[in-house]
Amino acid sequence: MKAQDTDTLEQARLARMISLSEVVVRTDINVPQFIDRVRNDTSFYKAFKNLRILGFTSRNDIIMTNKKGKVTATLQSTTRQFRNNGCRTMEILSETTTGDFYDKKNEYNYYTADLYASLFFTQGSVCGENNIVAGTSFSPKGKKGIAKHKEQLKLLFFNPGKRIPGIPLMADRKIDPFDPVTSELYDFSVDMGDYEQQQCYIFTVRAKEDLRAGQRDKIVIDEMVTWFDAKTMEVRARNYHMSYNAGVYDFDVFMEVELTQFGEYLVPKTLRYKGNWDVALKPRERGVFTATLSAFEKEKIICFLVRFSNQQVYNHKYRKYHGSYSVRCHESKIYPSQVIGFYDGMLVNKHTGEDSHAHPVE
């Protein structure tokens, strides 16, 4: 049997398992095609990837508690991320902490905070990132031990339902609610409703209520509700509950994520988290955090235009400016007032003398 035929049968199998509301039935939706779009969606993960190439302001609120619910540490801050010339940096505009949020080395005392920071904070200057999702390997390359486990769980939390290789004691099928074995343990439904005045399909995946303990151990996602834009099929919001106990680690996490449009970019605007998780050799952590993102800004390229060539220009037509050179993108300042025009497919900038360089025009 061809792979295409197998995929078609798989879609048909899942389509028979989905409950449609009356309003959805009236839309004459192609259910197998809808399921295919849902399964192959990358818009949710890409929204977080877009944060790597944009500037934005983040209001951060993190609260850590003990098993009795008493607050042990907090952070409230406002940060601004900048993206210039292929690199992102961050400025802390304000910050207040309580308790033991930081250790003696001024590092995060909680890996929940570390998880949060890896999503919304920038240490130093980080360069060479992009928002490309196609072909992305969900693998924590270059990490070991607890750092590797945290990276795997981060990918799991913010790309739910996608297979992430290498998570200890967790088979891929446990993560994927559409797997032929795992899907039998779920109820699926599609409804319609509005999200920010946009008509959306509301797709719900919920663990069956009558599961036995042995069946419950075979799944990770307890419930996931996703709002898909009815026109573009991009994710507009997602609420989900995930839990798992693998002995060496366990977690029980609730997430609410709201997305918004910034130009051509889909980006997170609000993220709410409540959960507890335990990694071997570390004490159990219980925390709540909220991230509110705003004032998005496209990357700034501080140059006049991307260079056309490395070739130097020797043209005595512009002798009073001494020949000139092609204008390039710089990580430092560039002065557009020095640009005098095109020559042989290149932008050229003036020089003040035969052997001198261009100087800032104040």
- Interatomic CA distance for residues 147 and 47, integer angstroms: 24
Domain boundary among 254, 274, 300: 300
Same domain, yes or no: 96 and 159: yes
Same domain, yes or no: 311 and 199: no
Considering only 43-47, 89-93, 141-145, 238-242, which range has the smallest mean pLDDT?
141-145
* pLDDT computed for residue 313 by the predictor: 43
**In this structure, are residues 15 and 31 in contact, taking their beta carbons and an 8 Å threshold?**
yes
* pLDDT computed for residue 9 by the predictor: 72
Same domain, yes or no: 135 and 47: yes
309 compared with 184, residue with greater pLDDT? 184
Same domain, yes or no: 122 and 260: yes
Residues 303-360 have pLDDT tens digits of: 544 444 444 444 444 444 444 444 455 444 444 444 444 444 444 454 444 444 444 4
* pLDDT computed for residue 249 by the predictor: 76
- Interatomic CA distance for residues 131 and 213, integer angstroms: 40
* pTM over the 0.95 mark: no
Kindly list the distances between the CA atom of residue 67 and the CA atoms of 71, 72, 159, 246, 276, in Å, as whole numbers in the listed order: 10, 10, 28, 20, 10
Same domain, yes or no: 296 and 306: no
* pLDDT computed for residue 2 by the predictor: 52
Domain boundary among 197, 216, 242: 242
Whether pLDDT at 131 is above 50: yes
Considering only 1-15, 17-31, 78-92, 216-230, which range has the smallest mean pLDDT?
1-15
- Interatomic CA distance for residues 277 and 251, integer angstroms: 4
305 compared with 190, residue with greater pLDDT? 190
Domain boundary among 300, 328, 345: 300
Mean pLDDT of 225-230: 96
Please give the tally of structural domains in the chain.
3
* pLDDT computed for residue 241 by the predictor: 95
Strands of the 221-229 sheet, one edge to the other: 18-20, 186-195, 198-207, 221-229, 235-245, 249-262, 265-279, 285-297, 55-65, 71-84, 87-99, 126-127
Residues 140-169 have pLDDT tens digits of: 566 666 566 666 666 776 667 666 666 655
Whether pLDDT at 265 is above 80: yes
- Interatomic CA distance for residues 250 and 78, integer angstroms: 31
Same domain, yes or no: 273 and 236: no
Residues 191-207 have pLDDT tens digits of: 999 998 899 999 999 99
Angle between the N-to-C axes of helices 111-120 and 145-158, in degrees from 0 to 180, rounded to the nearest 10: 60
- Interatomic CA distance for residues 312 and 335, integer angstroms: 19
Mean pLDDT of 113-132: 92
Which residue range(s) make up the domain with 144?
41-167+246-300
Same domain, yes or no: 194 and 67: no
List, in sequence order, every residue forming a beta bridge with 75; answer none if it has no partner. 62, 97
List, in sequence order, every residue forming a beta bridge with 256; answer none if it has no partner. 239, 272
**In this structure, are residues 276 and 37 in contact, taking their beta carbons and an 8 Å threshold?**
no
Same domain, yes or no: 16 and 67: no
Q: For the chain, what percent of residues have pLDDT higher than 70?
A: 70
82 exposure class (CB count in 10 Å sphere: 0-12, 13-18, 19+): middle
Same domain, yes or no: 158 and 254: yes
Residues 93-107 have pLDDT tens digits of: 999 999 999 999 999
Mean pLDDT of 210-229: 92
Q: What is the mean pLDDT of the chain?
A: 80
Q: ∠33-35-38 over CA atoms, to 5°?
A: 115
Same domain, yes or no: 51 and 149: yes
Kindly list the distances between the CA atom of residue 133 and the CA atoms of 9, 50, 361, in Å, as whole numbers in the listed order: 27, 10, 42
315 compared with 12, residue with greater pLDDT? 12
Residues near 326 by Cβ (< 8 Å), separated by ≥ 6?
307, 308, 309, 310, 311, 312, 313, 346, 347, 348
Same domain, yes or no: 237 and 312: no
* pLDDT computed for residue 316 by the predictor: 41
Same domain, yes or no: 283 and 253: yes
Highest mean pLDDT among 14-28, 113-127, 258-272: 258-272
